[in-house]
Amino acid sequence: MKSISIYIHIPFCVKKCQYCDFLSAPADSRAQEVYLRALKQEIREQAARYREYEVQTVFIGGGTPTAVPCENLCEVLKTVFSFYRMNPHAEISMEANPGTVTKEALLSYRKAGINRISIGLQSADDVELKLLGRIHTYRDFQQTYRWAQEAGFTNINLDIMSALPGQSVENYKKTLETVLSLKPQHISAYSLIVEEGTPFYEKYGQESEKLQATGEKQPDLPSEEEEREMYALTEKLLAAAGYHRYEISNYALPGRECRHNLVYWKRGNYVGFGLGAASMVENVRFENTRKMQEYLAEYAGVPSAEPVFADVAQGDMQQIFRGENVHPLSQQEQMEETMFLGLRLTEGVSKAEFHRQFGVSMEQIYGEVIQENTAQGLLADEAGYLRLTREGMDLSNYVMAQFLLDEV
């Protein structure tokens, strides 16, 4: 039987964070109720397409999934369990933010079948949390983490961020040490990226005309040297504490790697449900509309002219519909994705598996790129795998871009 993973998008949050460019926005209870009704209908309608597949992982993300009522979210998961063939040992993950969950809710999530929880801490410093626009304090997080453990969660991920405005290397080290003292099973450590269209871009973007005009003083972003120091410190401290770095930004205790994310990086089959959710099944990519009214019209029978709530998509987005934005990947595109996704993993890309999939050796396609980057110390060819070296990870975007065949 073939395998598949499921992603479920909950596009709601209590308040938009200063750095966030995800497809999410606050919404009232009526809007949430209508959306969740549409979501369950989509999950039911699409089930016939995946009768030959067994679900290995489910990931409920957002937004903030825990911003909607617990019982409603559990009903969504129950719909998945009712209409899809589930592996009895499936990994069922959910994102949760402090300030949006109770102990009782966490107990209900665990009882509903969720066995892995990802908590958005970001920083152990309340000043940094406030600057990010987070709604919680570190004390709120501590309570959420304790409740999760008491609810029976034994597979917990913590998200943290570095290179924050005003953040010193010493402050970031304190966050790392604080997180390590809690001994979570998994840690995702991301460096802040100032994305266009976010409040942070207005404050720190290269074209921050508003900031220049007002002369408003903002904390400076760390220098490149400080950012590199934070990056190296992450790997050093986490490795010393027994965490294996298995992907550029992800660390886990033995056997606690996120199985769902490995599906993405290894190009397995996955289907996304919900607003703007993307899918990749048998080398065909497709995605849902990013227009809320269109999604509700399709799955909840809500007329597109009826204003349930404002369109949450930012800007003038292209209208995309399941079944219309279908893109079968060419062999060239499949090879490109195999390389630039697989090289995110510290184990790298299997040369034997590449040959099995495409009928040619990796050297036949990428020989010159491999040779040049190996000579520069950015790639290593060991034990049948091509992988980034530590120096290569520091320059990962530069290295991986060279595996786009137009540039070879």
* Each residue's pLDDT tens digit, 28-54: 899 999 999 999 999 999 999 999 999
The pTM of the full predicted model, rounded to 2 decimals, is 0.91
- pLDDT per residue as tens digits for the range 125-181: 999 999 999 999 999 999 999 999 999 999 999 999 999 999 999 999 999 999 999
Instruction: Give the span between the Cα atoms of 118 and 144, in whole angstroms.
Output: 11
When pLDDT is averaged across residues 247-261 and rounded to a whole number, the result is 97
When pLDDT is averaged across residues 293-310 and rounded to a whole number, the result is 72
Residue 319, pLDDT score: 33
Whether the upstream peptide bond of residue 63 has omega within 30° of 0, thus cis, is yes
Token match 């992988």: residue? 387
Task: Tell how many helices (H) and how many strands (E) occur in the chain.
Answer: 16, 15
Candidates 407, 375, 373; CA nearest to 393 is: 373
Confidence of residue 21 (pLDDT cuts 50, 70, 90): confident
- pLDDT per residue as tens digits for the range 124-137: 999 999 999 999 99
Candidates 119, 121, 229; CA nearest to 173 is: 229
In this predicted structure, the answer to whether residue 58 has a pLDDT above a threshold of 80 is yes
Instruction: Give the span between the Cα atoms of 55 and 345, in whole angstroms.
Output: 23
Residue 16, pLDDT score: 86
In this predicted structure, the answer to whether residue 317 has a pLDDT above a threshold of 90 is no
When pLDDT is averaged across residues 342-362 and rounded to a whole number, the result is 97
Percent of the chain with pLDDT over 90: 80
Catalogue the E-assigned strands of 170-221. Answer: 186-191
In this predicted structure, the answer to whether residue 211 has a pLDDT above a threshold of 70 is no
Task: Say if residue 63 is exposed, middle or buried (CB neighbours under 10 Å; 0-12, 13-18, 19+).
Answer: buried
Q: How far is CA 362 from the centre of its chain?
A: 28
Q: What is the DSSP letter of 123?
A: -
Integer angstrom CA distances of residue 379 from 201, 248, 370, 388, 394: 33, 14, 7, 5, 11
Query: Across the strands, what pairs with 61?
Result: 9
Q: How far is CA 391 from the centre of its chain?
A: 24
In this predicted structure, the answer to whether residue 228 has a pLDDT above a threshold of 50 is yes
Contact indicator for 335, 346 with CB cutoff of 8 Å: no
Residue 408, pLDDT score: 42
Q: How far is CA 219 from the centre of its chain?
A: 27
Task: Calculate ∠ Cα 381-382-387, nearest 5°.
Answer: 55
Instruction: Give the span between the Cα atoms of 282 and 327, in whole angstroms.
Output: 11
Is 27 or 181 the better-scoring residue by pLDDT? 181
What are 147's two structure tokens? 């409740």
Encoded amino acid at 33, one letter: E
Instruction: Give the span between the Cα atoms of 1 and 123, in whole angstroms.
Output: 42
Candidates 114, 113, 141, 138; CA nearest to 127 is: 138
Residue 206, pLDDT score: 59
Neighbours of 131 (CB within 10 A): 20
> Which strand (E) or helix (H) includes residue 72?
helix 70-83
Query: Across the strands, what pairs with 327?
Result: 285
Confidence of residue 202 (pLDDT cuts 50, 70, 90): confident
- pLDDT per residue as tens digits for the range 357-406: 999 999 999 999 999 999 999 999 999 999 999 999 999 999 999 999 76
Instruction: Give the span between the Cα atoms of 5 and 380, in whole angstroms.
Output: 31
